[in-house]
Amino acid sequence: MQKSCSTACDDSRHVLLHTGFMAMKKIALFAFFILSVVPASHAQVPVSGVGYFQPGYAYRHMLNPAFVPMYGYVGIPVAGNADFRLGSNMGLADFLYPMPDGSLGTFMHPEVDADAFLKRMHRRNYIGMDFNSMLLSGAWFSGKSFWNVHAAVRGIFQMGLPYELFEFAKRGMYRNPTRYKMEDIEMAFKSYIELAVGYARPVTDEITVGGKFKFLLGLVEAELRMDKVDASMGDDVWKLNSTADFRIFGRLLECDWPQDESLPAFSFGDVGLSGFGAAVDVGGEYRPSFLPGLRFSLSLLDLGFIGYPRNSIQQYSASGETDFDGFEDLGPDVDWRGQLQDAADGLLSLADFEEAAVDKSMARMINPSLNIGAEYAVWNNRFSVGLLNTTTFYHSYTENELSLIANLRPVRWFSFSLAYSFFGLANGLGWALNFTPDVGLNVFIASNYTPLEVNPQFIPLRRAHLDLQFGMVVPLTRNRPQVSGRDPMNVNIYPYGPSASRQSANKVKNKRNIKKIKL
DSSP conformation letters of 287-334: --TTSTTEEEEEEEEEEEEEEE-GGGEEEEEEEEEEEE-------S--
- pLDDT category at 166 given cuts 50, 70, 90 is confident
- pLDDT category at 457 given cuts 50, 70, 90 is low
215 neighbors 198 (Cβ within 8 angstroms): no
Mean pLDDT of 18-29: 44
Mean pLDDT of 458-482: 73
Q: Residue 152 domain-assigned?
A: yes
- How far is 291 from 277, CA to CA, in rounded Å? 42
Residue 275 has pLDDT above 50, yes or no: yes
Lowest-pLDDT range of 257-271, 285-299, 442-456: 257-271
- Per-residue pLDDT at 152: 97
Q: Residue 503 domain-assigned?
A: no
Query: Hey, which of 316-320, 322-326, 330-334, 380-384 has the most confident mean pLDDT?
Result: 380-384
Mean pLDDT of 453-480: 73
- Per-residue pLDDT at 518: 47
- Per-residue pLDDT at 334: 47
Tell me which amino acid residue 125 is: N
- Per-residue pLDDT at 405: 96
Q: Residue 217 domain-assigned?
A: yes
59 neighbors 436 (Cβ within 8 angstroms): no
- pLDDT category at 109 given cuts 50, 70, 90 is confident
CB under 8 Å to 402, separation ≥6 — which residues? 387, 388, 389, 421, 422, 423, 424
Q: Residue 510 domain-assigned?
A: no
39 neighbors 450 (Cβ within 8 angstroms): no
Q: Provide the mean pLDDT of the chain.
A: 77
Q: Residue 425 domain-assigned?
A: yes
Residue 177 has pLDDT above 80, yes or no: no
415 neighbors 60 (Cβ within 8 angstroms): no
Give the number of domains in the chain.
1
126 neighbors 160 (Cβ within 8 angstroms): yes
- Per-residue pLDDT at 298: 98
Q: Residue 485 domain-assigned?
A: no
Q: Which DSSP category does 169 fall into? A: H
Residue 484 has pLDDT above 90, yes or no: no
- Per-residue pLDDT at 481: 42
% helix, strand, coil for the chain, step of 5: 15, 50, 35
Residue 174 has pLDDT above 90, yes or no: no
Residue 388 has pLDDT above 80, yes or no: yes
Task: Name the residue range of residue 431's domain.
Answer: 7-479
pLDDT digits (tens, 9 = 90+) for 395-434: 766 878 899 999 999 988 899 999 998 766 556 789 999 9
- pLDDT category at 299 given cuts 50, 70, 90 is very high
Mean pLDDT of 268-288: 90
Mean pLDDT of 241-257: 85
Mean pLDDT of 469-491: 63
What does pTM read for this prediction?
0.79
- Per-residue pLDDT at 426: 56
Q: Residue 507 domain-assigned?
A: no
- Per-residue pLDDT at 56: 84
Residue 103 has pLDDT above 60, yes or no: yes
Residue 283 has pLDDT above 80, yes or no: yes
First-to-final CA distance of the chain: 105
- Per-residue pLDDT at 463: 67
Q: Residue 517 domain-assigned?
A: no
Mean pLDDT of 191-204: 95
